[in-house]
Structure 1
């Protein structure tokens, strides 16, 4: 795991938190790929239809975020959720 990423697990939910700096998303995207591969290797089913991505961007000049794909399926980007607590 890259030092800028954290994985939070609770029951059957998993959250990947990645700090993206200098527009380099590679560590975050690699972490998502490792999680996906780990699920597959352990015969766990990752429901991409229920998977969401929330981007918190504090930059003054915000730019579009590249879409995230898991097993060829686009992950929906959401602006908020009632089920998460984000502490920064």
Structure 2
């Protein structure tokens, strides 16, 4: 998707998937609906984890590019640990 539509549009699509998954979780009528919504959110997290660091690396100045990508990856890791 990134190569075909660009990173910015792909990130916007991932945001829409996050919103749809969150709303589906909030209004899930039963456990199966909640599980399917969580799968949808899992795809959004996976897409964001792959797409956003590339986008940040493309936009960041060369002097701080590595630090910005590292901070993003660190924030993802810490968020996963806290959520667990």
* Structure 1 and Structure 2 fold alike (TM over 0.5): no
Larger helix proportion of the pair:
2
Q: TM-score range by the shorter chain?
A: 0.3 to 0.5
Higher CA-based Rg: 2
Higher RCO (C-alpha under 8 Å, 6+ residues apart): 2
Q: TM-score, normalised by structure 1?
A: 0.36
